Amino acid sequence: MRTVAEAWQAGRDHLAALGIEEAAVTAELLLRHALDLTRTQFHIARNQPVPDRARDRYLGYIGERARGRPLAYIVGHREFMGLDFLVDERVLIPRPETEVLVETVLELLRGATSPVVADIGTGSGAIAVSVAVLRPDAPVVATDLSHGALEVARANAARHRVAERITFLAGDLLEPVIGGGWRLDAVACNPPYIASEAAAGLPREIREFEPALAVVAPGQGESVHARLVDEAPGALRPGGWLVMEVAAGQAPRVVELLEQRAGYEAVQVRRDGLGWERVVAARWPAGARCVGIDCGR
């Protein structure tokens, strides 16, 4: 393992033997992280020796990945909506399918003037920061029950220079938003949606490393969706949207929750890049009576 190429091959073969998916790409990313090289620099340096300290870091990273720790936590960041987000074990790792949630919010608010958007259960802040970056006129409020997650989200907001346009609130779902009298044009949420009884069957890297608070819903998988459906009218302006991510196969049950709750209209389902029903959205009617604490905010 004297050269960069040899180190990469050794790491790739070790991970592949353990059944780690995308072993070649993973080994490259870990070695680049250990060497602090871009992809171009990495390929230029293929025949150069690996310094001892970098080799030790690399071996440590390979060992972590072999034990199941997600790649994003090892390297400390993950791309989402073309932006780079800091992540660690305090937050859920942003997934590509959640980009459909952001895209849906942006589409539904197209034409709105300075729409106010809430990201409920913000985690890393990926949704809140992406909306703030892509809609510079939109004030954003982001909530989370985890103070650790809010620290990560604030760091990402500062990283992308939108901290002054995002208000971070600690609390359970929409409670701090409603309590603060916010009136919203959209409520966006990627809630925990794995039923408690199914948690043991999750892949090891999710089950043992990602925060259970962001993954597992109390009781049934739609329990948090049901709370959002009930709470959102207390924060939405007339004509505002509730937009929620769902698990594969979950959309029909969430649509039913919305249809059972009087008032919602224009219920719709959006699919992700793999064709799975991934996002459910519904509008609180434009002529609906305000039900919040402070309807003038």
Q: Is 291 inside a domain boundary?
A: no
How far apart, in whole angstroms, are the C-alpha atoms of residue 218 and residue 208? 18
**Is the same domain home to 61 and 105?**
no
How far apart CA 160 and CA 174 sit, in angstroms, is: 25
Residues 48 and 109 in one domain: no
Residues 81 and 63 reside in one and the same domain:
no
Tell me which residue range forms the domain holding 193. Answer: 77-283
Residues 53 and 93 in one domain: no
Give buried/exposed letters for 176-197 (b at 16+ CB in 10 A, else e).
bbbebebbbbbbbbbbbbbbee
Mind listing the pLDDT tens digit for each residue in 7-44?
A: 999 999 999 999 998 999 999 999 999 999 999 999 99
In tens, the pLDDT along 95-123 reads: 999 999 999 999 999 999 999 999 999 99
Please report the pLDDT score of residue 287 as a whole number. Answer: 67
Q: Looking at the structure, do residues 61 and 202 belong to the same domain, yes or no? A: no
Residues 147 and 189 in one domain: yes
CA distance 105 to 277: 16
Same domain, 61 and 88: no
Is residue 139 in some structural domain?
A: yes
Q: Same domain, yes or no, for 58 and 84? A: no
Establish if 51 belongs to a structural domain.
Answer: yes
Residues 43 and 163 in one domain: no
* pLDDT reported for residue 292: 47
Of 14, 35, 67, the last residue of a domain is 67
CATH number of 273's domain: 3.40.50.150
Six-digit token string for 177:
């938003």
Q: Residue 241: which residues within 8 A CB-CB, separation 6 or more?
A: 105, 108, 109, 185, 186, 187, 281, 282, 283, 284
Same domain assignment for residues 63 and 186: no
Domain boundary among 20, 39, 67: 67
Instruction: List, for residues 253-272, the tens digit of each pLDDT value.
Output: 999 999 998 899 999 999 99
Among 45, 67, 89, identify where a domain stops: 67
**pLDDT in the model for residue 290:** 53
Predicted local distance difference test score (pLDDT) of residue 296? 40
Residue 288 lies in a domain: no
Question: What is the β-pairing status of strands 117-120 and 140-144?
Answer: parallel
Q: First vs last Cα of the chain: how many Å apart?
A: 63
Q: Residues 96, 213: one domain? A: yes
Q: How many domains does the chain divide into? A: 2
Q: Considering the domain boundaries, does residue 72 fall inside one?
A: no
List of residues 6+ apart from 45 with CB closer than 8 A: 4, 35, 37
Confirm whether 292 is domain-assigned.
no
Query: For the chain, which residues score pLDDT lower than 50?
Result: 292-297
State the pLDDT at residue 71.
97
CB 146 within 8 A of CB 211: yes
- Per the document, the length of the chain is 297
31 with 165, same domain: the answer is no
Indicate whether 250 belongs to any domain: yes
Q: Please give the structure tokens belonging to residue 135.
A: 């809609």
Distance of CA 77 to CAs 88, 93, 209, 247, Å? Answer: 8, 9, 15, 24
